[in-house]
Structure 1
Amino acid sequence: MRRKWPFLLLAFTLTVGLSVPGTHEVRASEGDSQPSIDRAGEHLSLGTDGRSRLYPNDWYPGFKDEQGRFLHDFSYAGYQRGETELPKTPKNKRIDVTKAPYFADPSGSRDATQAIQKAIDAAVALGGGVVYLPKGTYQVNPQDGKDYSLNIPASRVVLKGDGMNKTHIYNAQQNMKNKDIIRIGNGDWKKTGISTKLRKSVTDPTVLLPVEDTSGFAVNSYVVISFETTPGFLRELGMQNKWSSRLGKVEPLFYRQIVGVDPENKTLTLDIPTRYPMKLRDDITISQTADPIVEVGLEDFSIANIQNAKSGLGEDDFKVVGTAGYEADNAKAVNVIAIANSWIRNINTYKPAGNTDYHLLSKGIILDRTKNVTVDHVTMQYPQYRGANGNGYLYQFIGNDNLIKNSKAIGARHSFTYANFSANGNVLQGSYSEKPSLLTDFHM
């Protein structure tokens, strides 16, 4: 039985679940009643067009009252769509980075990057595992030719410390422009070459897509649904002038998993409803991707950057070579790219010895093209550079159906930011913002 978030989540959808007025084109009504689908041996009850149990029995995605108002269903946010609790990390079978053959220095005085990365690579070779950092400070820095310090490139790897304020991951390189302390993922979605087009415009939220061809698509495969920013799209939303630069660009919109394929009726059933009108005018394309990295966790440690000693933290100093703003530009603590069903929990930033007030150089946690990632009990604080070009963002959603709960952002430019077309279905629950220079917002 699906575990759904309580009333607080419903209240959230009332305040930030933005609805786009329907244009009453053709609805994907065929086969809306899907009593059940068998997904890899699991009997998945979809109810009426993917109805969530958070809502009444007669509710369905896109349901409107007599005034045309409706609520999106945000109850799919987080790890495994909110259906299961986060996994408990086993205490046995850990790979201790301080022991042979790794011997990572826990004093913080010597670079431990290669030792920890070798432990991560060993876990990957085993098909997964827990890479354990005992109490101490571990200095990590980007190695030659790398734009990250540590990388988790495969599924089922957990990077685990002894606890917040016990295990410290410390980046001691002042120039971290466009670099990450920790990166999860290998880059963009890897498309398989299998794709199809939408067969009819779909204006209401739905799990059922009428497509031109179902060939090659299979249950459990992942897809990216994209659209082209046509003149009609830009005109409809008033996105002229500044936004006209997007004209003709293909943008990702939804990242989904297939739970049903019907070749006879030419439909694909998705695991999560859509949330935006999709029109033939905008060349809606459904592209299959390789399976993403899954079941990756970061937990139980503190993380920080050394501050940049140079001057120049103005709004546009990210453009000025030799300034602190330039060298801190787009520096990220944790960058998560194109992964699904993973988590970050019990992590905070800290002020290293020698820093004045700062914990980070610029950005905190970026969820980029991700799906169903949970961030729980995390505190990101005091970035040094809060200038333009996206700096000082402590949590940034650029994916689908991610959940940030019980977390804090302090001293940011934007504490929580929903960015780009692919940011939808994301939820903040029980989270807190303090002393940002600008507001939590929806932009980019």
Structure 2
Amino acid sequence: MACARQSAIEFLKNARTNLVTDMKNLPLIIENLYQQRVFNKHEVDDLKAERTEFDKARCILDWVSKKGEEASYELLRILDVTKKRTLHPDLHSRISCFPFRWEDEEVSYSFGTKPCQNYQTALKKKAKRILKYQREHCCKYLDGKAQVNFHFIPVVLERDSVMKTPQYKIKWNNKKCKKLRPKKLRAYIPTEQQALSPVDLLRCQDKNILLIGKPGIGKTTVVQEMLRLWAEKDDRELDYMFYFDESVLSSSSNDDLESILFKVYLKPMEKDRKDVFQDIEENSENVVIVFDGVVDLEENSTLWKIMNHELLPDAKIIITCRSEVEYDPLFSDWPTQKVYVEGFSEESINSYYQKMLGHDPVLLDVVLKNQELFSLSHVPMYAFMIVDLIQFKNDNVFNHQNTVTEMYIHIFRVAVKKQIEQIDKYLRENKDQTFVMLF
């Protein structure tokens, strides 16, 4: 109750010792005070001229207190709304103790300085370009209807599960050996036992997440869905998200942190470079870094130091790897939350084919009534190949029950035919040149 009787000036006076040392991200505080007209341009310039962070914090508190109760109240509002970025965690409960007026209007505070906001906007545009390229790369194999319906279908994610292989399930669930083949095939399709989604992974408090799965099972799709969620929403919890694929991981280990973020990934405006890098380093709890497809990282390289939080100590690090890499010494001492990507559930398989093939019962029956193809479809990459194959058909290849071997043979034929068509097109377009072909 004593807290409720305090004025804003008294609260700042009593908390001054802690605030001077535990306020952080001072440029953001100053920016909001300027936007709310507590400080003018000259005062902002004078604050920037102060040599140390301690001096800047001291001046902010002293100048605001001298401006009176409303200015002091505004500073407390700013600190409360932006506390994850501007206050040490020990002060979060204390600042929330102040009796803010319930009738306060909703004020739009900045959660980053102008240079940082500009770079965050550019990062989201970069993320959308990555996703657009991935979509176009996949959709070039599909017809127009499937391209429209091409979007994320949930895959089964199991947190720290005891991985039960199909052989394990067959052995224990079918004690009477030589059960029917359909039952064995269904053992490959995962069952979703707990709700875990890309949103959950993005929001969870775990700082290290290892996404594990076999090739084509959906690891890249999951992290790119996380990238999409961040890029398309106004997320005040995460300021920066960087996505590095295998090509970057294999060629950038010797670069320093600033070069990896700005030279390799996305360069900010030159005048903003210092402010942005300082914000990333000092507020790394608002940073997510994805390493998609880790096989090996050179010890003590910059990427290795990021992974082990020697750099960006509070950032969320998300790594995807294949199942055989899980027990590599690289991860043996890495405290992590393991998440197993197990592919499409039965519901997702049905949903995927309905989206990609429409509701034509003839086309759907090609897969949904073929237990071998249906079982294979728990791997999203195989499901994609089957869709491409069905759409490419120009004969009665699917008028009978196909084996997986027949499907692979037909895919090979299609791939060869497409390659020959591309070579033929290239030769026609360059018919005036002389070619020497070696076989």
Task: Tell whether the structures are fold-level matches, with TM greater than 0.5.
Answer: no
Taking CA–CA contacts closer than 8 Å with sequence separation of 6 or more, which of the two structures ends up with the larger relative contact order? 2
Structure with the higher strand share, 1 or 2: 1
Structure with the higher helix share, 1 or 2: 2
**TM-score normalised per structure 2:** 0.21
Radius of gyration: which is bigger?
A: 2
**TM-score normalised per structure 1:** 0.21
